[in-house]
Chain A
């Protein structure tokens, strides 16, 4: 069965530290990849997405992610975090199934706390 693993459940960083959140998926076929963020008390919103092309994807608020097909990974990065980045981050994949449909699968999430 398809699955998404986020290895870091809780991350605590100081402001200006660099961030990398891991995301690995298990599916050998075509996939689309997403990172969503949920700020405290707010909607789940899209940070960035990869469908095709350049495997290094840039999103909002200075975030980027790199798709490494050989490693089945889509890690999220930010060179310098801010206190306002405190949130829960979800990786999601959208594999193309043999039936011709797509199905979203979410990881368990990573809670990031940035200390001012």
Chain B
């Protein structure tokens, strides 16, 4: 079964703790993305990676970090520096050939910081 998996589905953390969200894909896609979805604000890009060992900041990267050590994996760490971390986080991937191809999304992780 090909697709994108995100774990866990729900995550609770105390304020001040770092937390890492998992994203794995077996679609052999080169590019991977992290978005944050808040009610009434749509999807906002946090980070993206077009190739292994390289990634770029999106529009709201402050307080987040990522790594891309393997093609299949693109974990997102929400650090204590992120002021409003409670949100729904979506991971996506796509091929780079062609550049215009569609993004495919994972099921998301809902993070609640208490």
Interface residues of A (CB under 8 A from B): 4, 6, 9, 32, 34, 36, 42-46, 49, 51, 90, 92, 94, 101-104, 106-109
Q: Which stretch of B11-19, B36-44, B61-69, B79-87 is in the interface?
A: B36-44
Number of interface residues of B (CB under 8 A): 19
Pick the contact of B105: A4, A45, A49, A94 (CB < 8 A). A45
Asked whether, in the complex, the Cβ of A9 is within 8 Å of the Cβ of B105, the reply is no
Q: Quick one: which of B61-114 are within 8 Å of A by CB? A: 90, 92, 99-100, 102-108
Asked whether, in the complex, the Cβ of B100 is within 8 Å of the Cβ of A109, the reply is no
Asked whether, in the complex, the Cβ of B102 is within 8 Å of the Cβ of A34, the reply is yes
Q: Which residues of A contact B51 (CB under 8 A)?
A: none
Asked whether, in the complex, the Cβ of A104 is within 8 Å of the Cβ of B45, the reply is yes
Asked whether, in the complex, the Cβ of B103 is within 8 Å of the Cβ of A43, the reply is no
Asked whether, in the complex, the Cβ of B100 is within 8 Å of the Cβ of A51, the reply is yes
Asked whether, in the complex, the Cβ of B105 is within 8 Å of the Cβ of A32, the reply is no
Residue of B nearest to A103 (CB): B45
Residue of A nearest to B40 (CB): A108
Pick the contact of B106: A4, A6, A43, A107 (CB < 8 A). A43
Q: Which residues of B contact A49 (CB under 8 A)?
A: 102
Asked whether, in the complex, the Cβ of B42 is within 8 Å of the Cβ of A102, the reply is no
Q: Which residues of A contact B90 (CB under 8 A)?
A: 44
Q: Which 4 A-B pairs have the closest CB atoms?
A: A108-B42, A44-B105, A106-B43, A106-B42
Residue of A nearest to B43 (CB): A106
Q: Which residues of A contact B92 (CB under 8 A)?
A: 44
Residue of B nearest to A52 (CB): B100
Q: Which residues of A contact B105 (CB under 8 A)?
A: 36, 43-45
Pick the contact of A102: B41, B45, B100 (CB < 8 A). B100
